[in-house]
């Protein structure tokens, strides 16, 4: 073994030992009240139903959906890939380890904003980063994606794009092109009277 490799090996060990000596205690810090107040006033903690849907469809690996509803409701329906966490177990060791996963955007949701807002404040106080709320909860997500409203005749092209995205998303989640309450059978079509054009008079010759 050459001398230079021995020196490099010693240098590596010293550097690695330095890490052990310098290691800092990574305690979960608590956010100070002023920063918490600023974070509460900031609306960027909300993700819209469209934003979340887009990331679900794209299979975004950084997205972590956290369903805060009761287990029986979670079993009946939930957003794909969601984890069910009960609000009372939010401070348990396992949940905190899950929420402290690096590189993940944790999106909290319940049926509405209420439970998610409480959980968000609690999580933010515990300095959990990249914590978001699904705006309006699952109810708004359902009304936006699965049961969207009518499009106005004067809708802009951006609105029409959004509607076509929602239609595609609805097909993605339900496998259906139309909402369940919009049945074709209920519609009655007016009979169209076809007015046939009278045959043209035969020409008397010429070209």
- Geometric angle at alpha carbon 166, from 138 and 183, rounded to 5°: 90
98 lies in the binding site for another protein (CB under 8 A)? yes
Q: Which residues contact residue 155 at a Cβ distance below 8 angstroms, ignoring those fewer than 6 apart?
A: 163
Give whole-number Cα distances, 74 to 67, 113, 133, 175, 177, in Å. Answer: 7, 16, 17, 20, 25
Please choose, out of 101-109, 115-123, 147-155, 158-166, the segment that lies near another protein by the rule CB under 8 A.
Answer: 101-109
| Interface pick for another protein out of 71, 101, 143, 164 (rule CB under 8 A) | 101
- Within 104-133, which residues bind another protein (CB under 8 A)? 104, 129-130
Nearer to another protein, 128 or 145 (CB): 128
DSSP 145-204: IIS--PPPTT--HHHHHHHHHHHHHHHHHHS-SS-TT--STT--PPPPPP-PPPPPPPP-
Alpha-carbon gap, residue 142 to 27, rounded angstroms: 39
Please choose, out of 5-13, 73-81, 108-116, 166-174, the segment that lies near another protein by the rule CB under 8 A.
Answer: 5-13
Minimum distance of another protein from residue 195's CB (angstroms)? 56
5 lies in the binding site for another protein (CB under 8 A)? yes
Nearer to another protein, 6 or 143 (CB): 6
Binding residues for another protein (CB under 8 A): 1, 5, 9, 12-13, 15-17, 19-20, 22-24, 61-62, 98, 100-104, 129-130
């Amino acid at each position: 073994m050459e001398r230079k490799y021995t020196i490099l090996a010693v240098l590596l060990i010293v550097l690695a030992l330095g890490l052990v000596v310098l290691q800092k205690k990574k305690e979960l810090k608590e956010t100070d009240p002023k920063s918490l107040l600023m974070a509460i006033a900031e609306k960027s903690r909300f993700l819209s139903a469209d934003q979340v849907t887009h990331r679900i469809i794209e299979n975004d690996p950084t997205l972590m959906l956290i369903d805060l509803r009761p287990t029986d409701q979670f079993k009946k329906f939930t957003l794909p890939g969601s984890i069910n966490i009960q609000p009372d177990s939010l401070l348990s060791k396992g949940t905190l380890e899950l929420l402290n996963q690096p590189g993940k955007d944790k999106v909290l949701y319940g049926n509405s904003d209420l439970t998610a807002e409480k959980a968000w404040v609690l999580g933010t106080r515990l300095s959990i980063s990249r914590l978001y709320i699904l705006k309006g909860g699952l109810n708004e997500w359902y009304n936006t994606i699965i049961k969207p409203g009518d499009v106005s005749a004067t809708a802009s092209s951006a609105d029409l794009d959004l509607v076509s995205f929602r239609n595609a998303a609805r097909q993605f989640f339900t496998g259906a092109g139309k909402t369940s309450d919009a049945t074709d059978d209920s519609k009655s079509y007016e009979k169209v009277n076809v007015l046939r054009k009278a045959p043209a008079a035969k020409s008397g010759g010429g070209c």
